[in-house]
Amino acid sequence: MANRPLAEAKCLPAALGLGGLAAVLALTEMLIRLGWVNRFIVPLPSEVFVSFERIILEENVLSRFLATAGEALAAAFLVSLTGVALGAFLHRHRLLRRACESWVAGLAAAPLVLLYPLFLVIFGRNALTIVMIGFVSGLPPAILKTVEGFAGTPKVLLDVGRSFSLSPSQLFWKIAFPSALPVIFVGVRLGLMFSLINIVGVEFLINFGGLGQLVNELAERYDLAAMYAAICFVILVSVFFFIASEKLERWLLRSA
C-alpha cells in the first residue's frame, strides 16, 4: 500500500513528459494541416517521423550518430579530467582563482565555435579539430562549477576528517571530492551540453564528420523533414550522455 504512490510517482513524470510531447506534435500537425503554419518552414511531424527510415537507410545516420557521439565522448573525457583538475587547482590557489575566475566565466559565454579557422590551421580538417573545439567550449563551466563545489564543502566535514588524522590526500579523496561531486557534475553536464552544441556546430560549419554535416547537407537539399529527423539524433546523443553522467556520478559517490 505504502509503495503504490511511490511507484506511481516514478512513472508519472515520464508519462506526463511523453504525453505532453505527443500533444505538442499532434497540435503542430493539426496547425500545419489547417494551413495556419507554413509547411515549408515547419515540416509535418508525421513527415519527420516517416523520414527516419530514409535517413537510416540512405544517409547512414547511425554511423554519423556514432561519429558525433564518439567526438562528444572524447571531448567529455577531456572536459571532465581537465576541468575538474583545473578547478581543484584554482580552488587551492586563492590568488590565481581570484585572478582567473571572471575571465573563465567570460570565456564560457564566448562563441568559441567561431574560432574554427584557427583550429583548422592548428589541427587540420579532421575529427581532432572537432574534438578540440568541443573540449575548449565545454571547459569553462566544468572549471567554474568545480571551484564552486570545493568552496562549498562545509569546513566541519574537513574537521571531522582531520580529527580522525586523515592525510591531506585522504581529506581530498574521502571528503572534499565527494562533498563537491554533485556541484562538479552540474558543471560537467553543462560542459557536455556546450561541447555537443559546438561539436555539431563545427561539423555543420566545416562540412565534416557526423550529424552536423548531415544536417548541413539536408538543409542544402531543403529536405526539412529529414533535417529535423537528423536533429532528433543530436538530441539522442545528449540524452545518452545525460544518463551516462548520472550513472557515473552515482558510481563515484558510492565508491567514495
Distance CA 95, CA 86 (A): 14
Nearest distance in Å: CB 1, another protein? 20
**Cβ pair 233, 52 in contact under 8 A:** no
Q: Which is nearer to another protein, 16 or 160 (CB)?
A: 160
Q: Which residues lie near another protein (CB under 8 A)?
A: 154, 156-157, 159-160, 162-166, 170, 174-175, 178-179, 181, 253, 256
Q: Which is nearer to another protein, 3 or 165 (CB)?
A: 165
Nearest distance in Å: CB 112, another protein? 34
Nearest distance in Å: CB 194, another protein? 27
Q: Which is nearer to another protein, 62 or 160 (CB)?
A: 160
CA distances from 102 to 9, 109, 148, 187, 199 (A): 41, 11, 13, 16, 25
Q: Which is nearer to another protein, 102 or 169 (CB)?
A: 169
Q: Which contiguous run of DSSP H or E holds residue 25?
A: helix 3-33
Closest CA relative to residue 33, chosen from 21, 19, 43:
43
Nearest distance in Å: CB 97, another protein? 22
Other C-beta atoms within 10 Å of 171: how many? 18
Q: Which is nearer to another protein, 126 or 170 (CB)?
A: 170
Nearest distance in Å: CB 155, another protein? 8
**Cβ pair 176, 158 in contact under 8 A:** yes
